[in-house]
Chains A and B, each alone.
Chain A
């Protein structure tokens, strides 16, 4: 019921976008597709602010091969169905380079369309391994994989010698994928897993789950998913006096979890990409964000910036705006970016990407552990 309306709205906005698409002759359109609205819109904010900044700076430096980059923005609400609609409107709009999508479950169906239609996609945030497992030529990412992030979390929990661990996930591609990776790592380390259970994303009532966690007497709870649910679980666990340490992936590590969980967010463990905004060589860029009144510390701001930069450098290196040439150039080259040196393997994954364990605080700040 709601989807059909979304489609209608998209259809209307597509036709509006089409009306304005005529003038784009000497420009290179860069599509930015991610959630502008919906429950994980704050991650979309990071993506859009990073990508916009890169486009602005590249244009200020003379553009790409003398042509200006133009951002075309799309809202996928982190909804797989909407992502497909967005991908189709991108095709209609003649966009050939996409920065996005954000949620793995949106990126996966959208990437099928991009690959078929010859559109190059760089996702700054989707960590599900399956996205690059299908031998696609035009799919890249500027972030690590769950299969790298899961073991970091699993090994950390195992190093704390817990007696029993519970693993909870939101049954979505991202959440369940990373929860499975954590479970496998813990199993290999010989840790007892008391529970491996899914919840429904969008639920509000976790009292039964919390009761069950209490009954299972676990020391650690790993949650694979996003912050709206974990925030509520933390809060309800605290009011039920559940004595366990929680840990989650980068999908829970943003300041909105504090508005939901309040004090209960103190001590939450999160695996995140390293804080790129702390690196000395990025300080000029960080300043540029701060001058615009934007916060560069989110995990996906600089990965999105890098995604645009890679597309631009790929076009320069290939000397062509043909997505297939650009993809070949990206696979061959070595690029210096705000997130470090980027080299791609055949699948479109970065050859190395590091995740770090942070401890989250109730004021929204984080400190690296160990």
Chain B
């Protein structure tokens, strides 16, 4: 019983972190799916989302507003709006002018953008860790009083539910809406879609905006869950989310979700049963193994050369 509780606790820890990886990974995978480039500045967009949410929360607290749902909704909206405009601006400034050139050029442009945004936040907000207020406290406890107690915090539940809502909304949007259909068309063949009258520039911008908005959601959630933000916050999370996207099959949205969850659970199980020191070793070995045996990732489709 004890062992089972311990296992479940580690599973919950892993799924929590995994679902936020998935939210960030969506941004990588959508952009790759549509224009075949890796948006390395995506981690920074997520970090900016977390900072914006923190600023909004602090501002509301200064105004004396203490009603939790209002604070969360306002913080979320602010973060999504700022991140989305950032995502849109990054695409206009750094990617659109170099689109269609050699693959390396947008990649380098993306890395430059990532460094620029990181250092911008360094300058604007300082390089120290800033504490995030714990808005959602408490949770459920399972297990007997004297043995190991499994806890499921309200914060973790919030993360699961929010992720679930975002993922469902995104899937519906992609499969049902007119813009979603256009997204799929553009990802299959950009030139053909454009010939058929789809405004491809608008669709590409929309992809960046959606990815950035989801990253902002993750930024707010993870900021609250962990309790601090710093300007390098996005770099590490971005790297993990990128790994998750590749693991699940880059370009595939369900793949990003699956990859995120697998990566999160692998990390928490490794720290839980082996040692925290091997956490990254195991997750990246997993990535190498999957790429060796299934180069397109778990749910990725083999890329067909377009003639």
Name the CB-closest residue of A to B154. A239
Known: A2-B115, A208-B268. A260 touches B276 (CB 8 A): no
Give a binary string over A101-140; 1 marks a CB under 8 Å from any B CB, 0 the rest: 0000000000000000000000000000000000000000
Q: Indicate whether A41 reaches chain B with its CB closer than 8 angstroms.
A: yes
A236 near B226 (CB under 8 angstroms)?
A: yes
A259 near B275 (CB under 8 angstroms)?
A: no
Name the CB-closest residue of B to A196. B275
Known: A37-B122, A39-B127. A200 touches B280 (CB 8 A): yes
When distances are taken between beta carbons in the complex, the residues of chain B under 8 Å from A258 are 131
Give a binary string over A237-273; 1 marks a CB under 8 Å from any B CB, 0 the rest: 0011100000000000000101111100000000000
A5 near B115 (CB under 8 angstroms)?
A: yes
For the complex, count residues of B whose C-beta is within 8 A of A. 44
B151 near A240 (CB under 8 angstroms)?
A: yes
B151 near A236 (CB under 8 angstroms)?
A: no
Q: Indicate whether B184 reaches chain A with its CB closer than 8 angstroms.
A: no
Name the CB-closest residue of B to A2. B115
Known: A200-B280, A208-B267. A256 touches B128 (CB 8 A): yes
For chain A, which range describes its interface: under 10, 10 to 19, 20 to 34, or 35 or more residues?
35 or more
Known: A207-B16, A235-B227. A214 touches B10 (CB 8 A): no
The answer for the CA separation of A235 and B223 in the assembled complex, in Å, is: 13
The answer for the CA separation of A202 and B134 in the assembled complex, in Å, is: 20
Partner of B232, one of A199, A202, A205: A202
B17 near A42 (CB under 8 angstroms)?
A: no
When distances are taken between beta carbons in the complex, the residues of chain B under 8 Å from A200 are 276-277, 279-280
A-B contacts counted at CB < 8 A amount to: 111
Q: Indicate whether A232 reaches chain B with its CB closer than 8 angstroms.
A: yes
Q: Indicate whether A164 reaches chain B with its CB closer than 8 angstroms.
A: no
Partner of A41, one of B6, B16, B128, B277: B128
Q: Indicate whether A364 reaches chain B with its CB closer than 8 angstroms.
A: no
Name the CB-closest residue of A to B122. A37
Name the CB-closest residue of B to A216. B148
Q: Indicate whether B52 reaches chain A with its CB closer than 8 angstroms.
A: no
> Chain A interface mostly helix, strand, loop or mixed?
helix
Q: Indicate whether B13 reaches chain A with its CB closer than 8 angstroms.
A: yes
Q: Indicate whether B305 reaches chain A with its CB closer than 8 angstroms.
A: no
Q: Indicate whether A212 reaches chain B with its CB closer than 8 angstroms.
A: yes
B230 near A228 (CB under 8 angstroms)?
A: yes
A260 near B268 (CB under 8 angstroms)?
A: no
Q: Indicate whether B84 reaches chain A with its CB closer than 8 angstroms.
A: no
Known: A232-B226, A235-B227, A260-B129. A207 touches B13 (CB 8 A): yes
Known: A202-B232, A215-B148, A231-B129. A197 touches B134 (CB 8 A): no
The answer for the CA separation of A207 and B139 in the assembled complex, in Å, is: 14
Partner of A39, one of B129, B149, B267: B129
A207 near B115 (CB under 8 angstroms)?
A: no
Q: Indicate whether B233 reaches chain A with its CB closer than 8 angstroms.
A: yes
Name the CB-closest residue of B to A171. B277
B127 near A38 (CB under 8 angstroms)?
A: yes
Partner of A204, one of B6, B233, B268, B279: B233
The answer for the CA separation of A209 and B9 in the assembled complex, in Å, is: 11
When distances are taken between beta carbons in the complex, the residues of chain B under 8 Å from A1 are 111, 115
Q: Indicate whether A211 reaches chain B with its CB closer than 8 angstroms.
A: yes
Name the CB-closest residue of B to A217. B148
A260 near B271 (CB under 8 angstroms)?
A: no
When distances are taken between beta carbons in the complex, the residues of chain A under 8 Å from B236 are 202-204
Known: A5-B115, A212-B271, A239-B137. A204 touches B226 (CB 8 A): yes
A198 near B115 (CB under 8 angstroms)?
A: no
B127 near A208 (CB under 8 angstroms)?
A: no
B227 near A260 (CB under 8 angstroms)?
A: yes
Name the CB-closest residue of B to A212. B272
- Show 30 residue pairs from A and B whose CB-CB distance is below 8 angstroms, ordered by the A residue: A1-B111, A39-B128, A39-B129, A41-B128, A197-B276, A198-B275, A198-B276, A199-B276, A200-B276, A200-B279, A202-B232, A202-B236, A204-B222, A204-B236, A208-B268, A208-B272, A209-B271, A211-B13, A212-B272, A214-B148, A217-B148, A231-B131, A231-B227, A231-B228, A232-B227, A239-B139, A241-B141, A259-B131, A261-B227, A262-B133
Going nearest first, the 7 A-B pairs with the smallest beta carbon separation are A208-B271, A259-B131, A207-B13, A198-B277, A204-B226, A208-B268, A235-B227
Beyond the given pairs A199-B276, A200-B280, A259-B129, 19 more chain A to chain B contacts, judged by CB atoms under 8 angstroms and listed by A's residue number, are A1-B111, A41-B128, A198-B276, A200-B276, A204-B222, A204-B233, A207-B17, A211-B10, A212-B271, A214-B149, A228-B228, A236-B226, A239-B134, A239-B139, A239-B153, A239-B155, A241-B151, A259-B131, A259-B228
